[in-house]
Structure 1
């Protein structure tokens, strides 16, 4: 299926735009120099969008009674309501074309989690806040893969985020045409081993969901399916689950490989299971054997190539 360009929302400072309070930026080298070769970014700086200047005084989240303000350290200049309203507007009007979003960590407007909330006196804080802009984007788009720049330094979280972006884009492309149970079942079949690596129970339950459909409301079925899929994929696959999935893939070649080739593949999977080699080592062997011994069903498995190989995301996990 031909997909159009993937578009990802991005905090503008992560693109290198000098929009921070001190006229600086927080350019993400991964986003701009690596992932940026394969996607387009739609940039947002909510603080500038609601009228704050560059440079500007720092702002923070401050708890005042039962409410939280986004204001200067002295308590003045609350822009919380404006940030919330802007977030709602972007979330409802400008995110339909997006397949993911990368936010700037620790920002009172863009942070996804663990944002400091200060008390009124400024003498203490708790790390339980969510950026006002990010909160609206995530609340209105529960399927949208979202991540922070800091967390993307973790190779497992980085790989997981990009995989979810490409999965969601695949779904968005599928949904451009009328959905049928047959098309949903074909889509699900392609994700068998990716789901197995992340959550085997989800693979079975989602398959049962499609298999027991009574023909009443295809859109409700599709909505339930994609929510289950994106939720299951949110947790990075463990080394144990990946190794078990690789063993299933090895089974496709039991009648076509020589004794030496089978042992070589088994050894590669065992070395991966033990943490001696990264995931791309056994996967490269499997893809080599697939070229020599074609299998149509296996060739369609997203697990083998969930995103461009040039990103080298499986070299570090």
Structure 2
């Protein structure tokens, strides 16, 4: 089945549109140019969309960091309820946009996802706030991958975020294929066909999930093992929750090495002792931070092709996102 477009919510200013309070923008080249080749953006500017205009007075968060007010800096005008009403309406609209992730503008009183300044009546600001729109969005879509443009310059956070986005898109495509996405798609007919598709999806994502959470990978395996006896809505709903929870946990070098060793085990009767020693040396050099992940993964991919390992050919762990993004060259 052809993959649907990967739709991504994004703060409008990051695409270079002049929607900032001062009439400017905060264009991010990585977001607009690099990710723009792979994602279909749905731009959102909460401040403009709720009618505050361009240009507009600068605003900030004030009061209790856990429930801050949105106020105009120079006049103290309270815009909290106006923004909250907009947020409640807009997140419901976005529920119909098939978003697989969202990229927020950092430090924004409306769109900052973390560490936004909140000003008390006296004293220095607390760096613990969340923008009002970002909070409403994350509350409405707790499992959806989200990031800020600044954090995407961290190689580990970037790779984890984009890996989650592509995994979610593949799972959404599975739901459409089996008729579980409520779009009226004909889908696979019969319980057996739906279970079969889920089993195939799970098998292909086994090592990818394992690299994020061995514990949740085990839970997912148990769920799939009893899939035939679980009602479809419960089955796919629980599986999605486990999948997204696992992928939200950061993969570490130790977890990657565990997966690399599992994959190498498939070739223990085919490769020479010297080849095995070379692979294990690469794994340890990667673990020690002397090599990027792409090096041992490339060696294993070579063995997969050379020895025509059918099961491993389908493993998304070896190619979780487009090679052109070069994400594993830097982690």
Q: Tell me the TM-score normalised to structure 1 length.
A: 0.94
Alpha-carbon deviation of 1:280?
A: 0.2
Say which SS state the counterpart of residue 127 (structure 2) adopts.
Answer: strand
Q: Which residue of 1 aligns with 2:101?
A: 100
1:183 — aligned with what? 197
Match of 1:223 in 2: 237
Q: Structure 1 289/81 Cα, relative in aligned 2: closer, same or farther at 3 Å?
A: same
Alignment of 1:93-132 (within 5 A): 93-96=93-96, 97-120=98-121, 123-132=123-132
Counterpart residue number, 2:303: 289
Q: 1:278 aligns with which of 275, 278, 292?
A: 292
The equivalent residue for 2:6 is 6
Tell me how far apart the structure 1 counterparts of residues 254 and 66 of structure 2 sit (CA, whole Å).
Answer: 45
Residue of structure 2 in register with 1:195 after alignment: 209
Aligned 8 A contact 1:243 1:269 in 2: yes
Partner Cα separation in structure 1 for residue 87 and residue 204 of structure 2: 35
Q: Deviations over 1:113-158 (max 9, x none)?
A: 222221235x432222211111111111122111111111110000
Tell me if the contact between 2:212 and 2:247 (Cα under 8 Å) persists in the aligned partners.
yes
DSSP-derived class of the 2:262 partner: helix
List runs of 5+ in structure 1 lacking aligned partners. Answer: none
Distance in 2, Cα, partners of 1:218 & 1:247: 34
CA distance in 2, matches of 1:32, 1:248: 38
**Cα distance in 2, alignment partners of residues 171 and 239 from structure 1:** 25
Deviations 1:97-123 (A, max 9, x none): 1111000011110011222221235x4
SS at structure 2 position matched to 1:51: coil
Kindly indicate whether the alpha-carbon contact (under 8 Å) linking 2:65 and 2:128 is maintained by their aligned counterparts in 1.
no
Q: Report the CA distance between 1:201 and its aligned residue.
A: 0.8
Which residue is 2:274 aligned to?
A: 260
Residue 217 of structure 1, CA deviation: 2.4
Q: CA–CA distance in 1 between the matches of 2:58 and 2:126? A: 18
Q: Which residue does the alignment assign to 2:50?
A: 50
> Does residue 60 of structure 1 match 2:60?
yes
Q: Structure 1 stretch 271-280 or stretch 111-120: which is displaced more?
A: 111-120
Counterpart check, 1:211 vs 2:225: yes
Matches of 2:121 and 2:62 in 1, distance apart? 6
Residue 210 of structure 1, CA deviation: 2.4
After TM superposition, the structure 1 = structure 2 runs for residues 11-90 of structure 1, keeping only pairs within 5 Å, are: 11-63=11-63, 68-74=68-74, 76-90=76-90
Q: Gapped runs of 5+ residues in structure 2?
A: 181-193
Give the distance between the partners of 1:141 and 1:216, measured in 2 at CA: 25
2: distance between equivalents of 1:90 and 1:196? 36
The answer as to whether partners of 1:64 and 1:120 remain within 8 angstroms in 2 is no
Task: Tell me which moved more, 42-51 or 95-104.
Answer: 95-104
**What residue in structure 1 maps to residue 324 of structure 2?**
310
RMSD over aligned CA atoms reads 1.9
How far off its partner does 1:220 sit? 1.8
CA distance in 1 between partners of 2:173 and 2:102 (Å):
18
SS in 2 for 1:108: coil
C-alpha change, 1:64 and 1:158, in structure 2 (3 Å) is closer
Distance 2:64 2:128 in 1: 15
1:140 aligned residue: 140
Match of 1:249 in 2: 263
TM, length-normalised to structure 2? 0.90
Are residues 24 and 291 of structure 1, via their aligned partners in 2, closer, same or farther at CA, if it must alter by over 3 Å?
same
